[in-house]
Amino acid sequence: MEISPNAAPPVAKIVDWGKYQYQKMKEQQKTRKSSKQSELKQMRFGLKIGSGDLDIKLRKIRGFLSEGHKVRIQIFYRGREMAHKDLGYVMIDKIINLLEDDAIVEQQPQMAGRNLSIVVRSK
């Protein structure tokens, strides 16, 4: 195996190939173990959520963001609330304004069935 090709004369070393591959594999496992995997966390809100409950959920979202995770914020509609979809968008705007110091909106609000969701990540 060539160690330093630019040196004069070039430096070479005889290596046990199996041992070299094993060490290389162990090193990759170690780096994979130490690197932190970012997850997509999810927080669900109803339209009729109280201010205290909203504060607790926002505190939890800030915790997720500080750990480096992305968060999907989901507003779910029940029954006849589907007739007032605009209230969900108002709620999303309120949440975004409360989180604007900590989060950036990565995915704009979108409806999927009875759910309105956005994805935010930390600044």
Q: What are the DSSP calls for 1-40, one per residue?
A: -EEETTSSSPEE----HHHHHHHHHHHHHHHHHHSPPP-E
Contact between residue 107 and residue 119 where contact means Cβ atoms under 8 Å apart: yes
47/102 same-domain check: yes
pTM strictly above 0.85:
no
Binned average pLDDT, 10 residues per bin, the chain of 123 residues = 81 86 91 76 92 94 90 93 90 92 89 92 87
45: CATH = 3.30.110.10
45/64 same-domain check: yes
Per-residue pLDDT, 116: 93
Domain that holds residue 116: 40-122
- What is the token pair recorded at 29? 């496992």
Q: Cα(first)–Cα(last) distance of the chain, in Å?
A: 45
Per-residue pLDDT, 97: 93
Q: From CA 121, how far away is CA 37, in angstroms rounded?
A: 14
Per-residue pLDDT, 118: 94
Per-residue pLDDT, 52: 94
Q: Provide the domain count of the chain.
A: 2
